[in-house]
Amino acid sequence: MSRAFFMILDSFGIGEAPDAAAFDDAGASTIRSVANSPAWNCPNLEKLGLFNIEGVADQEGLAGKKVKDPLGAFARRRELSMGKDTVIGHWELAGIVSPKPMPTFPDGFPAEYIEAFEKATGRKCIVNKPYSGTDIIRDYGVEQHETGALIVYTSADSVFQIAANEADIPVPELYRYCEIAREMLTGDLAVGRVIARPYVGDSPENFTRTSNRHDYAIAPPSDTILDELMKAGKDVIGVGKIYDIFNGRGITEFVRTKDNADGLVKTSEYREKDFDGLCFVNLVETDSVYGHRRNIEGYAGAISAFDRWLTDFMPRMREDDLLLISADHGCDPGYLKHTDHTREYVELLMYGKSVTPGTDYKTVDGFTFAADKIREFLL
């Protein structure tokens, strides 16, 4: 019975990719911004070889240093897919390269679609343009309450987001509207995710998004390592938004989480259970709470909290366990040109009895390298 724990530190990129300029991200480096923060305290990641990854410690202005005898194996990986969003990043981690970017809507969604969606839901839609998720409820929350409308917006990512006050539109009803949108957004409108964004509060000063966010992703176009494992009779456990990202495909069991701390607790619980296969975990707050909001100290604190969790997790791994740590894209909290994801290399750190310490795979083309390593270990 072999178990792989695949931990995704959402958006923890390790330096600009060669094509970063084409994505308006020249000079971005999440790790440089975060590791230089006073809130950074990650001895376990450093011992595993985080700064030994090719090119990481060589970045100008980055304070981290290589260690002499890394405990893990490590690699720097370049994304091959034409995108820098959550869905495309996770799909490539699981083995699918996406040659075309998912559609984005910098000018909002077509009027004819919005009209059809209003007819299908029986509610008016307001805003319909790219917007910060926290700013939009501050600016339009009162109008939403007064009219009962749905706040519809997007971002630089391929997303259709719907925000509503839980006091006006109950969460199950908001989810139903998102399901309607998911069914309607096809063809050229087939965004990567439809996202429910419920919030609470009674004034712009206290409108606050809740943990009842829910993502409705487009299904992967072909089999991933998750499908391969499931067909081979293995367990495939999703923790956090993994089930949503893959639209349930290839998942045999899943549990959603409220935040990173909850995700780590649930992962520790799975460590104590008997299963044969993959536990795939997404820790989203580095991206959603700190990356997009350009909060360097908060981001560093979240990575440091994960590192503290490793202090307990790693010694309690079983003989046939493999730990993999990676990311799906970047979101440099120190990059002020925009507040979107950043096109970066991502790390792969591996640890366990089957891993030869200090193995340096250098720079590898394709996030799919992680799926290859999981396949080698579990199949």
Cβ-based neighbour number of residue 151 at 10 Å: 24
CA distance 35 to 332: 11
pLDDT of 42 > 90? The answer is yes
> What class, spelled out in words, does domain 111-217 have in CATH?
alpha beta
**The residue type at 138:** R
- The pLDDT value recorded for residue 208 is 96
pTM: 0.90
Instruction: Read off the pLDDT of each residue in 359-379 and give the average, rounded to a whole number.
Output: 98
Please list the residues that pair with 253 across neighbouring strands. 237
Instruction: Read off the pLDDT of each residue in 256-277 and give the average, rounded to a whole number.
Output: 97
Homologous superfamily (CATH) of 3-100+220-378 is Alkaline Phosphatase, subunit A (3.40.720.10)
Which pair of structure tokens corresponds to residue 55? 């090119």
Q: How far is CA 109 from the centre of its chain?
A: 24
pLDDT of 232 > 90? The answer is yes
Tens of pLDDT, residue by residue over 80-138, are 999 999 999 999 999 999 999 999 999 999 999 999 999 999 999 999 999 999 999 99
Tens of pLDDT, residue by residue over 307-361, are 999 999 999 999 999 999 999 999 999 999 999 999 999 999 999 999 999 999 9
In 3D, which of 144, 52, 150, 55 has the Cα closest to residue 109? Answer: 150
In 3D, which of 253, 247, 252 has the Cα closest to residue 269? Answer: 253
Residue 250 binned pLDDT confidence (cut-offs 50, 70, 90): very high
Residue intervals in the chain for CATH 3.30.70.1250: 111-217
CA-based angle 278:284:289, to the nearest 5? 170
Asked if residues 184 and 113 have their Cβ atoms less than 8 Å apart, the reply is yes
Residue 304 binned pLDDT confidence (cut-offs 50, 70, 90): very high
- The pLDDT value recorded for residue 156 is 86
Residue intervals in the chain for CATH 3.40.720.10: 3-100+220-378
DSSP 333: T
CA 267, 271, 275, 278 torsion-angle sign = positive
CA distance 263 to 260: 5
pLDDT of 368 > 90? The answer is yes
Which pair of structure tokens corresponds to residue 154? 């997007």
Tens of pLDDT, residue by residue over 18-41, are 999 999 999 999 999 999 999 999
pLDDT of 165 > 90? The answer is yes
Using a 10 angstrom Cβ sphere, with 0-12 exposed, 13-18 middle and 19 or more buried, the burial of residue 206 is exposed
Task: Say whether 359 sits in a helix, a strand or coil.
Answer: coil
In 3D, which of 332, 160, 159 has the Cα closest to residue 151? Answer: 160
